[in-house]
Every structure is written in structure tokens, then in C-alpha cells.
Structure 1
Amino acid sequence: MTEPTDHTDKPGKNPVKEMFLLAALYLPLGFFLWFFAASLLMFPTARLADLLLTGFFGDIFERVVQLGFQLEVQTAVILEREVDGRMAAVNLYVNPMIYAWGMALLFGLIMATPLSVKRRLFQMTIGFVVVTLVTTWGVFWETLTDLAFRSSPEAGAAAAGLGLDMNLIALCYQLGYLMLPAVVPIATWILMNRAFIENDILQRPL
């Protein structure tokens, strides 16, 4: 007598859990590489910030100097009081890494996504460009915020002469600090992997 066959389907692998498990495993490596190569990764941001600040507000900003991964923004704003017996200009210091952690996040997500080597490298290049733009936005508006609100009275007076509304400076800074670094990398990954998300994730039960 033939034994009845069990037609119950065995549950398959969950693509969502599998992908995010891989992403979690790749994230520590991503953050290690991100911090290890920080000076190199921040070089495009330093050059873009220098171009924007000196290009739009050349009367105030003289240059942006990269010190490791940090940036020193040198200004033409002279303090009325002397420092160490001589006149001194206002220098602002910005850490661009606080806006660039999306590079490590994208690395983890892209490495966890089933892609060819060529497509994976292409997506990492696109992700690097996008996060660099986000980082440049953050550096640009943090510099203006520091000039307007966090530095000397002389710097605040110089910021008032930029022709920008102070509320706009504060709003753009908050946008670049709170929202863009978190939202843009995820949105970039979703747009680059829309077919994978629709076919392999959304169409399958969790």
C-alpha cells in the first residue's frame, strides 16, 4: 500500500531576512573602511565646499583646508580683539563625517543585494557621488550656521551681510543634519534596486 504523499510546501528562504542579515554582517566592514579611508573619501567634499563657499561668498570665505578628514574654513572676518597680541581672523572647523555615514550604510546594503560584480561597483560609485553631495550640503550650511550663530559678533555681522535669511540658513542646516544623511542613502538604494525589491521582496510573504 502506497504511503500518502505530504504535499505541504516547505517554507523557503525569506529574502528580506536573508538580505538584512547579510547587510548587518557587512556593516561593520563598511564602517571600518569608511573610517580608515576617511581622508580620501572626504577629499571631494572639501574641494566642492571650497568651490561653493569661495565662489558664492568670496568676500568672506578665503579657502577650505582639509586636515585629515576634518575641514578648516578660513575667513576674512577679522576679530576686533587681539589674540596673543595680534589681530586674528575667524576660522571655522567642520567634521564632514557626521553627514557621510550613509557611505557605510550603502556599502552594507549593496553588498547584501544579489548583484554582479560590475553592477555592484557601479552602484557603489553612484552611492558615493550621492552621499558626497549630501555631505557637501551639510558642510556648506553648517559653515554658514557657525558663522551666523556660533562664532563671534564680527562673524554674525558678516553673516547678516550675506543676503540670506537667517531662518533659511537654520532650516537648511537642520535638513542637512537630521534628514538627508539618513533618508537619501536608503532612497538611493531603493531606486537602484527597484526590480529586486518589487520581484524578490514585495511579491513574497514575510
Structure 2
Amino acid sequence: MPMHPAEESPADAPRRPPVLVRFALWAFAGVVGLTLLWTQASPWLSYPVAAVSHVALEQVAPMWVRSVHKRPGLIEVDTTVEVVAPQSGGRRGEVMLDADPGRYAFGLPIFWALLLAAWGAARAPGRLQRALLGYVLLLPVQAFSLVMYLLMQLVGATGLDVRALRVEQWQVEAIVYGYQVGVLVLPTLAPVLMWLLLDRKFFTDVIVHGWKQSLQAKRRPAARESAGG
């Protein structure tokens, strides 16, 4: 009879930590190690984020975007919005935006670390396919975060001036709200949700099952003490 992935054989129990502990250790080590690697590889791995953001900016803000320039580790946007340049005697200049796409794609090593932890905890198969699929599926989310950051830069440069931006007040408020969600929430939440989506069988069969087993193991001594008393 095959053993459930989360169960331990009697011979293995003294030598191997519980599956939840193994998963947590692998996840911690994976986040640290992959984040260090990410700092070196992000200019190239995040370049597709800049490419998707380029297309999005030209579609959602054509009245503001004059041109977009990209290279690994940097996206620059020339805008048509004019503001008074500081210490220029009242002269006006066009706003230029820039950002590092890797700053808004750091959820990728978190996602990969969770996949690595699943493999380390229970040798779950299909890691490479999920890693590549997750990379592609996270691109739109990361591009949203980058676009919201750039648009918030533009809004901030005008001091929330709807006349300079040539939009309605509700549109400025939508950008502020989108910035809060896209920059402060999604970069860390999206990779976890993506992992739960792509690895839900492992999560259900191993993590949830292991958690239930640990609860049952804690309840047994209390039940015996209660029966003995």
C-alpha cells in the first residue's frame, strides 16, 4: 500500500524532521539564496517586465508618453507633461521618469523559493515546468506594479495638479490607489498566490495533511492524560 507523501515511515521518523519543518527550512534557505542570486540576474530576468510595461504605458497613457527607452536594469520614459523646474527662474520642462524593473519583480525569487521548498520537503515533481510557467504568469502583475510606480512619479512631479495632467480628479485618485496596491501589496502577495495556484496539490496533500497530523500528535498526549485522570 503506497504511503501518503506527508507520512513518515517508522524508520525515517527519528532521522528526518516533519514535512512542515523541512518545508519551512527549505523556504527560508531558498528565499535567502535566490534573492542573493536575483540581485545579480535581475537586470536581465526583469527585462521582459520593462517590455510589457512599455506596451502598457503606450496603451493606457498615450497622452503622457512621448517615448520609452529600455535597457537591462532601467526603463526611462519621456513625457509630454510640463512642470516648473526647481531653481530655474520659473522655466518649465518636461517630466522624465525612470525606474529599475527588478525592484518590482522581486517576487520571482520568492515564488521559486516556495517551489524549491516543496521539492525539498517531499520531492514533489514538476518543479521546472511550474517555475517557467510562474515566471510568465507573474509578468503582467510585475508590469502593473512598475507602471503604477512610474505613473505615481508623474503625478507626484505635478503635485497632483489635474490641469497639468489634463485628466479628471478620479483618474488621479485611481493612480494613487493603484500605486498602493501595485507597489505595496502585489510584489509579495502575488508570488505566494501564484504558488498556491500552481502547487495546490502539494499544498493540500502535504502541507495541510502534515499540519493536521501535527495537531493530532499534540492532541494524543492530552487525551491520554485526560483518560488517565
TM-score by structure 1 length? 0.81
Alignment match of 1:14 (pick from 18, 29, 42): 18
How far 1:103 sits from its partner (Å)? 0.7
The 1:181/1:154 distance shift into structure 2, 3 A limit, reads: closer
What are the residue-to-residue correspondences of 1:45-124 with 2, within 5 Å?
45-79=49-83, 88-114=93-119, 115-116=124-125, 119-124=126-131
Name the SS of the counterpart of 1:76 in structure 2: strand
Question: In structure 2, what is the equivalent of residue 165 of structure 1?
Answer: 171
Answer yes or no: is 1:132 the counterpart of 2:139: yes
Structure 1, unpaired ranges of 5+: 1-8
Structure 2, unpaired ranges of 5+: 1-9, 215-229
The 1:154/1:188 distance shift into structure 2, 3 A limit, reads: closer
Question: In structure 1, what is the equivalent of residue 199 of structure 2?
Answer: 193
Q: 1:147 touches 1:155 (CA, 8 Å); kept in 2? A: no
Name the SS of the counterpart of 1:202 in structure 2: helix
The 1:65/1:156 distance shift into structure 2, 3 A limit, reads: farther
CA RMSD of aligned residues (A): 2.8
Provide the C-alpha distance between the structure 2 equivalents of 1:201 and 1:170, rounded to a whole number of angstroms. Answer: 37
Q: Which runs of 4+ in 1 moved over 6 A?
A: 82-87
Provide the C-alpha distance between the structure 1 equivalents of 2:169 and 2:61, rounded to a whole number of angstroms. Answer: 10
Name the SS of the counterpart of 2:78 in structure 1: strand
Name the SS of the counterpart of 1:77 in structure 2: strand
How far 1:61 sits from its partner (Å)? 0.4
Matched letter for residue 138 of structure 2: V
Which deviates the most, 179-188 or 67-76? 67-76
Q: 2:112 touches 2:131 (CA, 8 Å); kept in 1? A: yes
Question: In structure 2, what is the equivalent of residue 6 of structure 1?
Answer: none
How far 1:27 sits from its partner (Å)? 2.0
Alignment match of 2:153 (pick from 105, 122, 146): 146
Q: 1:57 touches 1:162 (CA, 8 Å); kept in 2? A: no
How far 1:82 sits from its partner (Å)? 9.5
How far 1:20 sits from its partner (Å)? 1.5
Name the SS of the counterpart of 1:113 in structure 2: helix
Residues 119-178 of structure 1: per-residue CA shift (max 9 Å, x gap): 211111122123322221111112222212x21469753434278522211111101122
Residues 77-124 of structure 1: per-residue CA shift (max 9 Å, x gap): 2445599899742101223333211111112111121233xx211111
Q: 1:49 touches 1:64 (CA, 8 Å); kept in 2? A: no
